[in-house]
Chain A
Amino acid sequence: MRAALVTVIAALVTVIALGAFSPASAAAQQDDDLIPPSRNWISPERFILEVRVGPYRPDRAEVPAFNTFFSDDVGPLLALELDVIAYRLDEILYVTGAGGIGTVTFDGNTLDQLGEETSEETKFSMIPLNLLATVRIDALARRLSVPFIVTGKLGYQWARWSTESGDVNDESGWSVGLLWAVQLGLDLDTFEPAAARNMDEEWGINHSFLFFELMSFMPSDDSLPVGDDLTWTAGLGFMF
């Protein structure tokens, strides 16, 4: 096994050396030099993908049991959102329809009759699904090179929840309600326009951005009140 490892490492070193000094590498370097500074070509934009993470806590006032069992737990919420671009006003704004999915889990321990924690676990998990209409304004970034993109989102969320204790499911159900969000994005193209152009040419990614988003989920009265009045997420987005 050790001999095999040595063989593999030796092969890797050889390959790196070959990669660094081979004619192919030199040719690749020359190819890079020959790339024209700009071809004014932009691939089609159809989608926006956002990957996000952030703390999440159901409304403490409405669900005191959350404080009892999950007092220090804030998730986190992990989520994906895919926007399809319905309308594009060039270098000004996008209007999109979006779908999202996420997951968040809270862990705690059950209590005995004296109110002391036992070794048994109790969990609450939620998978939020949502449909959103969004308006994303990028005029600042595209026209004035001010690297901010402002987005507003409004839609509806269906959150599938389940709770268990001792690995046995206690209950499950749905919480549904309105969802809104406001997002401030930091346009990365503004900082590295050459890299942004390469991303578009090689991968078809037109723009990329970091974002910070404030959001609120307001479940209906008949739903388990697992909404968060105001929380935040942050993440990375791609337009492609």
Chain B
Amino acid sequence: MPRSTLFLAGAWLLALAGPAHAADPDDTTTPTNSSAIGGLMVNPIRVGDEEVALGTTIPVGLDACNTDAEIEFQIDGVPDERNSIDVYLGEGCNRTTRDDDTTDRCEYIGNFPAGSSRGLIILLSASQLMGDNCAEEREDMPKLWFLAVEAKQSGEDVMNFYGMIDRLLLDTRAPNAPTNVEGGSGEKQIPVEWDTSDSDLEGFVVLIDTQATSGGGGGAGTTGSSGSSGGDDVDDDGGMQAPAPAPGDGGSASSGECGSSVLRSGASASGLPSYVRRKEVNEATATGVDLGPGDIDGEIAAIAVIAIDEAGNESPMSPLACVKVVPTESFWDRYQQDGDAVDAGCPCAALGPAQLQSAWPVGLSLSLIALSARRRRRS
């Protein structure tokens, strides 16, 4: 290999691994939970009952807002002479500019006594960070500042005794419902497919109504696509979508070949009866999943899909589709119907007579390989 090529490759690797890359102060992808800057060690530990994974976004979603969940931080490195921690939230904050009534981009959250122990746990509630109105949609990542102070809201110079978390995701906005949901048919594998337009998803849940009624609409294709039910609303693409009754109207939705009294396009997925099964798909970019006959528990089921974003917010239900368990014929089933089909499984029937047949070509090949080995030894 030319020397210049080796030099180039080596230098490229050095550039990737070198200090110029690692020293970027804005690079928060470093796998640590500590604060991004400042002398205080601020570690987010828990949101509600969920532990915060190392170095990841700290999601505070609609559920956390509704339940006013506690968000727990551990703070280390508070000096003895500082009595308490002031907490501020907002893009306009920094270690000197705080809640000074000149900007609404930096909000004072509260003061927490440092106590005698310097390893401090601070509990903030979701309402302290997001306000009381969870219905107001938001999706932002404001910076959360922790300043070790001698006096509450004094405006003093905290020098290096501060910490900042910029991975706090305050998100009460539900993702969009998956679209173009299609349910398949099969005996052992019943595929479900969908499309999605959101990019901040954590996964999906397929809701399976095992007590679906058959013949909900009519005129559906064999795949039971949600876009093929006669008599339903026509969507923008010219396909047919299942109707979307208003939540709580007590009606039922149908998708051509099946109907459901509990799954409704556009409705919330909370409060569904226990016979509605949930098949979780923990893949952000998934566009389908295979169900088994055990998931459907019968011949036909109505399904809807919901998307889950990184903050745990659930989308409304997608349009309905049907999945069916039907007897199928595979390649092997069809081949076995041939009169002269051979057996499978144990290869003995084929290998037994073959030993004689294969003797001379195999012997010749092995002889040549052995000759080659001898030739190499002698050379």
**Beyond A12-B12, A173-B350, A174-B347: 15 further Cβ-contacts under 8 Å?**
A8-B16, A65-B338, A70-B331, A84-B373, A97-B369, A98-B365, A116-B222, A118-B328, A120-B189, A171-B345, A172-B345, A173-B343, A176-B351, A220-B350, A222-B354
**Closest residue of B by beta carbon distance from A3:** B24
Q: Which residues 74-104 of A have a CB within 8 angstroms of B?
A: 84-87, 95-99
Residues in A with CB closer than 8 Å to B92 are: none
The answer to whether B331 and A165 touch across the interface, beta carbons within 8 angstroms, is: yes
**Closest residue of A by beta carbon distance from B375:** A86
The answer to whether B344 and A173 touch across the interface, beta carbons within 8 angstroms, is: yes
Q: Which residues 321-367 of B have a CB within 8 angstroms of A?
A: 326-335, 338, 342-347, 349-354, 357-358, 361-362, 364-367
Residues in B with CB closer than 8 Å to A69 are: 330-331, 334
Complex Cα distance, B328 from A112, in Å, reads 5
**What is the interface of chain A, defined by CB distance below 8 A to chain B?**
1, 3-4, 7-8, 11-12, 15-16, 18-19, 24-25, 28, 31, 44, 46, 63-66, 68-70, 84-87, 95-99, 108, 110-113, 116, 118-124, 131-133, 154-156, 163-168, 170-178, 202, 219-220, 222-225
Complex Cα distance, B364 from A154, in Å, reads 9
The answer to whether B354 and A66 touch across the interface, beta carbons within 8 angstroms, is: no
**Closest residue of A by beta carbon distance from B344:** A171
Residues in B with CB closer than 8 Å to A108 are: 331
Of B3-11, B38-46, B63-71, the one contacting chain A is B3-11
Question: Closest 6 interchain pairs by CB?
Answer: A119-B184, A120-B186, A166-B188, A166-B189, A97-B368, A11-B15
The answer to whether A63 and B364 touch across the interface, beta carbons within 8 angstroms, is: no
18 examples of A-B residue contacts, CB within 8 angstroms: A4-B27, A7-B20, A12-B15, A19-B4, A24-B4, A84-B372, A99-B369, A110-B187, A111-B329, A120-B190, A121-B189, A122-B331, A133-B361, A156-B365, A173-B344, A174-B350, A222-B350, A222-B352
- Is the CB of B21 closer than 8 A to any CB of chain A? yes
B35–chain A nearest beta-carbon distance, Å: 19
Residues in A with CB closer than 8 Å to B372 are: 46, 84-86, 96-97
The answer to whether A118 and B222 touch across the interface, beta carbons within 8 angstroms, is: yes
Complex Cα distance, B324 from A110, in Å, reads 14
Complex Cα distance, B11 from A44, in Å, reads 34
The answer to whether B350 and A120 touch across the interface, beta carbons within 8 angstroms, is: no
Count contacts on B: residues with CB < 8 A to the other chain.
69
Residues in B with CB closer than 8 Å to A121 are: 189
The answer to whether B12 and A28 touch across the interface, beta carbons within 8 angstroms, is: no
Name the one of A97, A132, A172 contacting B367, with C-beta atoms under 8 angstroms: A97
- Is the CB of B379 closer than 8 A to any CB of chain A? yes
Which of A3, A4, A85 has most chain B Cβ within 10 Å? Answer: A4
Name the one of B188, B332, B334, B368 contacting A171, with C-beta atoms under 8 angstroms: B332
The answer to whether B350 and A11 touch across the interface, beta carbons within 8 angstroms, is: no
The answer to whether B354 and A176 touch across the interface, beta carbons within 8 angstroms, is: yes
- Is the CB of B185 closer than 8 A to any CB of chain A? yes
Name the one of B329, B335, B352, B365 contacting A155, with C-beta atoms under 8 angstroms: B365
Residues in A with CB closer than 8 Å to B238 are: none
Complex Cα distance, B11 from A19, in Å, reads 10
Name the one of B7, B29, B346, B358 contacting A156, with C-beta atoms under 8 angstroms: B358
The answer to whether B188 and A120 touch across the interface, beta carbons within 8 angstroms, is: yes
The answer to whether A28 and B365 touch across the interface, beta carbons within 8 angstroms, is: no
The answer to whether B338 and A120 touch across the interface, beta carbons within 8 angstroms, is: no
* Given known contacts A84-B368, A122-B331, A174-B350, A8 and B223 CB-to-CB distance under 8 angstroms: no
